[in-house]
Structure 1
């Protein structure tokens, strides 16, 4: 199994989408600058995107929308 370790600076969702397109990958792991939590943006279909937010606080209430949400429709 291949492993990589990266340093992650907090960034906005828009910046993460830009970085994902810049590197040409179908997903991009980042630290959300608003929540300070790990998140992943990913390409769904054509120009449709999704985002998954991870919670590191096990006591945090689960918000509507579940584990992730679609961007752009």
Structure 2
């Protein structure tokens, strides 16, 4: 069995009273896919920009998340 996840994969800016961090991995599909990958195979469908960091894509691949449905747009 596997699941299909459709949603946002994004770079977020997180601001707390003590610090601000920019361009961290975010998006609802990202977090759901990572959590679900602990239990089943995940197929992710989303769109990212051409400047999306390869390190973040590698993190998803390391969790065996299928990124064939991830489209990169300039």
Same fold, TM exceeding 0.5? no
TM-score with structure 1 setting the length = 0.28
Name which structure has the greater RCO, CA cutoff 8 Å, separation 6+: 2
